[in-house]
Amino acid sequence: MQFEYYVESSKKNELIDIRGVLEDALKKSGVKEGLLNVYAAHATAAIIINENYDPNICLDFLDALNNIIPEGKWRHDQVDNNAAAHIKSAIVGPSETIPIKDGKLQLGTWQSPMLCDFDGPRKRKIIITLLK
Amino acid sequence: MQFEYYVESSKKNELIDIRGVLEDALKKSGVKEGLLNVYAAHATAAIIINENYDPNICLDFLDALNNIIPEGKWRHDQVDNNAAAHIKSAIVGPSETIPIKDGKLQLGTWQSPMLCDFDGPRKRKIIITLLK
Amino acid sequence: MQFEYYVESSKKNELIDIRGVLEDALKKSGVKEGLLNVYAAHATAAIIINENYDPNICLDFLDALNNIIPEGKWRHDQVDNNAAAHIKSAIVGPSETIPIKDGKLQLGTWQSPMLCDFDGPRKRKIIITLLK
């Protein structure tokens, strides 16, 4: 079963918790055991799973990526000025796949699924597919 | 349903568009809704999804990885001289999973699936698995 | 079908081969063709697939990540002193998905699935889900 959602970022670089939309899709699907794939349909966004209870981890993650992939020094910047966002998205990847059991996401205690926007603010489409 | 394809690179570091083979496998499978997993069966290759309409994005991506994982400074280079290719492949990862709906890959407008060869030129095996 | 296993690390940064637990789960499942997803339920661990026949590749991989994500310079270090482990885990990702055919993992000759502990020594939970 497949569902589409839209998520809006408000900054250039931002992590947005998407646990709510994943749990909404999971509930609607009725799937009790299997896999949930969450996919960002964009070339300048990505999906990660990590801690955000301390929101500084999100800032540290974005800073670390900015350090290793600096802005403004790439060929594609002459066309669109967002090459760093493309490179970060390609490395991090557009999707994650999460196990489901007893109708629940089997996330670890400190794991939260998040959309990474590297070229916001934008409205981003995420596709959630459930298989059993 | 599962399919094997072979893709050939012509350079040491190269991105090769594989949308054609994914769509071929999808058509043969007859799957209308579900997930397609594309897997590179190699320790010095990987799969990404990103823009290649501007081919400079591919060069920027390869340059960025070369900058953060330089060649020739690793223990494994004494054995095989391709340690950087292993490290890049491990970070980027050997597979991507893409949602399917209405018998079509649900890629975003600027998303193209690509094989990354980090130790070419070589013939690379990719395995495509479709589940519904 | 879904299985849980526990794997113990003995160092701060360590790669642990998990092919044995994947093959155990695969055998128990009886799945002959499909996908196996292996998921680390932690925010400071990850899963990769790469060569470990030369164990120096594992050390090179860990060194490379330490070089690009140095320890001890992040906001979250003031809380928990493990920010680098979070950042590495978020970039590398908590899971890999591997094709199965004829009841076997379709890994390449030099591909081994490994748990990455970036904040050990710890006991880590991995969830293996098989779909056909």
Residue C61 near residue C50 (C-beta atoms within 8 A): yes
Contact with chain A for residue B132, Cβ under 8 A: yes
Contact with chain B for residue A50, Cβ under 8 A: no
**CA C46-C47-C53 angle, 5° bins:** 130
Q: Rg of the Cα trace of chain A?
A: 15
Of C2, C86, C131, the CB nearest to A50: C86
Of A2, A40, A90, the CB nearest to B101: A2
Instruction: Choose, out of B33, B47, B54, the residue to mutate when testing the contact with A (most A CBs < 10 Å).
Output: B54
Residues in CB range of B33: below 8 A, 6 or more apart: A1, A2, B100, B101, B102, B132
d(CA C128, CA C4): 6
Cβ–Cβ of C91/B91 closer than 8 Å? yes
Tens digits of residue pLDDT in B9-20: 999 999 999 999
d(CA B95, CA C45): 19
Give me the pLDDT at residue A78, please.
Answer: 95
Query: What stretches in chain C show pLDDT beneath 70?
Result: none
Q: What average pLDDT does this structure show over A123-130?
A: 98
Tens digits of residue pLDDT in C52-84: 999 999 999 999 999 999 999 999 999 999 999
Distance from CA of B76 to the nearest CA of C (A): 6
Spans of all domains in chain A: 2-131
Give me the pLDDT at residue B53, please.
Answer: 97
d(CA A131, CA A33): 8
Cβ–Cβ of B49/A131 closer than 8 Å? no
Give me the pLDDT at residue C115, please.
Answer: 98
**What single-letter DSSP state applies at residue C122?**
-
Give me the pLDDT at residue A122, please.
Answer: 98
Count Cβ atoms within 10 A of the Cβ of residue A5 and give its class: 0-12 exposed, 13-18 middle, 19 or more buried: middle
**Which pair of tokens denotes residue B68?**
């953060």
In 3D space, the residue among B98, B123, B97, B113 whose CA is nearest the CA of residue B44 turns out to be B123
Cβ–Cβ of C76/A57 closer than 8 Å? yes
Give me the pLDDT at residue B15, please.
Answer: 98
Give me the pLDDT at residue C102, please.
Answer: 98
Beta-bridged to residue A50, according to DSSP, are: A112
Give me the pLDDT at residue B113, please.
Answer: 98
Contact with chain B for residue A39, Cβ under 8 A: yes
Tens digits of residue pLDDT in A92-103: 999 999 999 999
CATH ID of C2-131, from 2.60.120.460, 3.40.50.720, 2.40.33.10, 3.40.50.2300: 2.60.120.460
Give me the pLDDT at residue A38, please.
Answer: 98
In 3D space, the residue among A89, A108, A88 whose CA is nearest the CA of residue A98 turns out to be A108
Count Cβ atoms within 10 A of the Cβ of residue A26 and give its class: 0-12 exposed, 13-18 middle, 19 or more buried: buried
The 3-class secondary structure across chain B, one letter per residue, is CEEEEEEECCCCCEEEECHHHHHHHHHHHCCCCEEEEEEECCCCEEEEEECCCCCHHHHHHHHHHHHHCCCCCCHHHHCCCCHHHHHHHHHHCCEEEEEEECCEECCCCCCEEEEEECCCCCEEEEEEEEEC
Give me the pLDDT at residue A115, please.
Answer: 98
pTM, 2 dp: 0.98
Give me the pLDDT at residue B92, please.
Answer: 98
Tens digits of residue pLDDT in A47-89: 999 999 999 999 999 999 999 999 999 999 999 999 999 999 9
In chain B, residues with a C-beta closer than 8 Å to the C-beta of A48 are none
pLDDT tens string, chain B, 132 residues long: the values are 999 999 999 999 999 999 999 999 999 999 999 999 999 999 999 999 999 999 999 999 999 999 999 999 999 999 999 999 999 999 999 999 999 999 999 999 999 999 999 999 999 999 999 999
Give me the pLDDT at residue B121, please.
Answer: 98
Distance from CA of A49 to the nearest CA of B (A): 15
Contact with chain B for residue C108, Cβ under 8 A: yes
Cβ–Cβ of C86/A34 closer than 8 Å? no
Compute the mean pLDDT over every residue in chain C, rounded to the nearest whole number: 98
In 3D space, the residue among B93, B18, B8 whose CA is nearest the CA of residue C38 turns out to be B93
d(CA C89, CA C112): 18
In chain A, residues with a C-beta closer than 8 Å to the C-beta of B95 are none
Contact with chain A for residue C64, Cβ under 8 A: no
In chain C, residues with a C-beta closer than 8 Å to the C-beta of B91 are 48, 61, 64-65, 91-92
